[in-house]
Amino acid sequence: MPLQKRWEPLERATVGKVPDRYGVYELGDADGTVLAVDHGPLRDDIKEALAYRDAPKVRWEACQNREHAERLAEEHRDRL
């Protein structure tokens, strides 16, 4: 099951809104189809995705810690 957040454009202004915490994020295409699910330090990972132009859209969910982010990412991957 995808994250229950709305898509944001993957651009510099969006990266500025991303919390500096561990979490799960999804990258999506222009139609909102999930291309990738990953976890890690949100701001750093999403900034890197922007630099490499991995996708036009992103959404994320902050987590309490790294282990929680890993577990949540695995659950989301299993449901796609």
DSSP 10-68: -SHHHHTTS-SSEEEEEEE-TT--EEEEEEEEHHHHHHHHHHTT--SEEEEEE-SSHHH
CATH 3.40.1440 fits 8-79, yes or no: yes
Q: Domains of the chain: which residue ranges?
A: 8-79
pLDDT at 1: 66
**Model pTM score:** 0.92
Low-confidence spans in the chain with pLDDT less than 70: 1
